[in-house]
Structure 1
Amino acid sequence: MSNKIYYLASCDTCRKIIKSLPNDHNLTFHDIKQDPITTEDLEEMYQLSGSYEALFSKKAQLYKSMGLKDKSLTEDDFKKYILEHYTFLSRPVFIINGKIYIGNSQQNIHQVMKALTGE
């Protein structure tokens, strides 16, 4: 299984994180805007994270504009919205050596760097 990063090329935060990756990172890049995530991609992320909600970005502007923040969403809803629009995937998502790292928190990126450098 190859190591992957799901990201958005137009996202400044994603670009900054990618720039800071070790040179020999050996990641397959997947721009979710150019190449929307498939049900299979999302299923793999779900298997590793155990939750669609964990993969869902509540920071997405559509989350507020569609009134989703006022609804009680189920796991099926989270899955449906992530597949419907790339903005709902919390970014970036790394899959490294069978482990998943979701989002751009400092702690998460620190864990990614450790995983990539084999520390």
Structure 2
Amino acid sequence: MTDTIYYLASCDTCRKIIKSLPKSANLKYHDIKQDPITVEELEYMRSLSGSYEALFSKKAQLYKSMDLKNKNLTEDDYRKYILEHYTFISRPVFIIQDKIYIGNTQQNMLQVMKALENV
């Protein structure tokens, strides 16, 4: 599979991260709003991350407005919500040489930069 970044073009944080990537980074850019994540892509991400919950964004506005924090969500629920609406996936998600990096924490971004140097 091609090294890929799954991101949201309208997200300021994602745009800032993309600008900071090395010019040599040979990534496929996948805007999840224009081109929703497929079942196959999500299954692959889950196989790398270990769970759908790891991919799920609890910061999403819909998470709060749908009152999901007060529900006992299962792995099937996380999968369903991620496939239903792009806002439920933590962003960005990088897949680099069959390793997954989820979210925009400083630690995660340092690991992404290191991984991109070694490609």
Q: How does 1:54-93 map to 2 (within 5 A)?
A: 54-93=54-93
Q: Unpaired segments of 5 or more residues in structure 1? A: none
Q: CA deviation at 1:118?
A: 1.2
What one-letter code is carried by the residue in structure 2 that aligns with 1:19? Answer: K
Give the secondary-structure state (helix, strand or coil) at the position aligned to 2:33: coil
Q: How does 1:1-119 map to 2 (within 5 A)?
A: 1-118=1-118
* TM-score, normalisation: structure 2: 0.98
Give the secondary-structure state (helix, strand or coil) at the position aligned to 1:104: coil
Which whole-Å CA distance do the structure 2 matches of 1:77 and 1:25 have between them? 34
* TM-score, normalisation: structure 1: 0.98
Q: CA deviation at 1:70?
A: 0.4
Which whole-Å CA distance do the structure 2 matches of 1:99 and 1:85 have between them? 24
Write out the 4+ residue segments of structure 1 that deviate beyond 6 Å after TM superposition: none
Which whole-Å CA distance do the structure 2 matches of 1:106 and 1:114 have between them? 12
Which whole-Å CA distance do the structure 2 matches of 1:117 and 1:14 have between them? 20
Identity of aligned residues (%): 77
Q: CA deviation at 1:34?
A: 0.3
Which whole-Å CA distance do the structure 2 matches of 1:95 and 1:54 have between them? 14
Q: Unpaired segments of 5 or more residues in structure 2? A: none
Which whole-Å CA distance do the structure 1 matches of 2:22 and 2:62 have between them? 33
- Root-mean-square deviation (CA), in Å? 0.9
Which whole-Å CA distance do the structure 1 matches of 2:51 and 2:93 have between them? 14
